[in-house]
Amino acid sequence: MAVKVFVAGGTGVLGRASLGPLVEAGYVVRSTARGKDKADLVRSLGAEPVECDLYDPASVRQAMSGCDAVIRLTTKIGSVMKIRDARAWEETNRLRTTGARILVDAAVATGVLAYLHESITFVYADGDNNWLDESSPLDDAGSRILRSALEGEQEAARFTQLGGRGMVLRFAGFYGEAAPSTYEMIGMARKRMLNQMGPAANYFSSIYVPDAGRAVAAAVNAPAGVYNVCDDEPIIFAEYLRILTSAVGGRKPLRLPGFLGKTMFGQAWNYFSRSTRVSNAKLKQATGWTPQMKSAREGWPVVVAALKAQTDGAGIRKAA
């Protein structure tokens, strides 16, 4: 009998990238979808849409009834230009904490066997040039955004303590053709607005969105625990900026004094400026997953070329 999977957040960037691989892996997939357009999108990806109020325990229990696994991919992240605005993250913080608690309570009540929780690699403390694995020190950097991410991870641990199999996937920085943030970054790069703050010698870990979606499908059967989802070769952030700028044909990023990072990015600079050379070895060993894009060096040129091919350049112009 096929394993039935309930996806909360299946119409978001990561959710859309995950539904297809889940279906292809043989799972019977049910996904939250509000409104006809999103329901049609879910159907087009091979999954069954279901209306659900993620803050209503009864609605959540009904939506996941009969499912064997629950996947939480719920976020509501706005423009990268609003990264310093704490209000822009309030809903995502709530989904990561209150929403996750309701999902886990419902999963326990309905006999779900596995719970998979989306998190982020920004929770790691600065690692300098060292590789970071799932046992590396964590640091919320005094940020409510990271505190909510770490609090949410505890829901997966609670699910395991209650007898289920809880997994946390810590995702590196997304980029890909389907990610709105990618369009914004392309536009900023073309306008020479992606500035380099100081030497930018910190490592930055990233993940191509389709690879992230494949990781979700691969992790459904993973043992309980925490797993990093990132590419194979994190790169120095100054190089990351040069790669993106070169891919879009923009001018070399301006280099500004490092102290301006706090002014421009607010509290987020406390973790954006950290060096996070994250390893994906544990996920590879546990599931056999491997990223198609080994690093942003090859990934960003592919993304930009794909956008140009799909829209005859209109997507790039729109972003600019």
For 42-58, give the DSSP string.
Answer: HHHTT-EEE---TT-HH
**Residue 31 DSSP symbol:** E
Q: Which CATH superfamily is domain 4-315 in?
A: NAD(P)-binding Rossmann-like Domain (3.40.50.720)
Distance from C-alpha of 198 to C-alpha of 154, rounded to nearest angstrom: 35
Q: Which of 25-29, 141-145, 231-235, 302-306 is least confident?
A: 141-145
Q: What's the pLDDT tens digit per position in 109-131?
A: 999 999 999 999 999 999 999 99
Unique residue bearing structure tokens 């109020």: 53
Tell me the C-alpha to C-alpha distance, in Å, between residue 265 and each of 45, 287, 288: 36, 36, 37
Cα 226 from chain centre: 14
Bin 249: left if φ > 0, else alpha if -120 < ψ < 50, else beta.
Answer: left
Tell me the C-alpha to C-alpha distance, in Å, between residue 126 and each of 228, 260, 263, 276, 300: 16, 19, 20, 6, 25
Q: Are the C-beta atoms of residues 114 and 70 closer than 8 Å to each other?
A: yes
CA atoms within 13 A on the CB side of 229: 31
Instruction: Tell me the pLDDT band of 266, cut-offs 50, 70 and 90.
Output: confident
Q: What is the pLDDT of residue 86?
A: 63
* pTM for this entry: 0.94
Percent of the chain residues past pLDDT 70, beyond the cut:
93
Tell me the C-alpha to C-alpha distance, in Å, between residue 42 and each of 34, 47, 128, 219: 10, 5, 42, 21
What does the mean pLDDT of the chain come to? 92
Distance from C-alpha of 124 to C-alpha of 32, rounded to nearest angstrom: 30
Unique residue bearing structure tokens 């350049």: 313
- What residues does each domain of the chain span? 4-315
Bridge partner list, 5: 29, 69
Q: For 211-238, what is the mean pLDDT?
A: 98
Q: What is the pLDDT of residue 81?
A: 54
Q: Tell which wins on pLDDT, 267 or 79.
A: 267
- What is the β-pairing status of strands 203-204 and 235-236? antiparallel
Query: Sign of the C-alpha dihedral, residues 41, 89, 72, 299?
Result: positive
Tell me the C-alpha to C-alpha distance, in Å, between residue 255 and each of 13, 132, 181, 199, 241: 31, 28, 22, 8, 11
Instruction: Tell me the pLDDT band of 77, cut-offs 50, 70 and 90.
Output: low
**Residue 86 DSSP symbol:** G
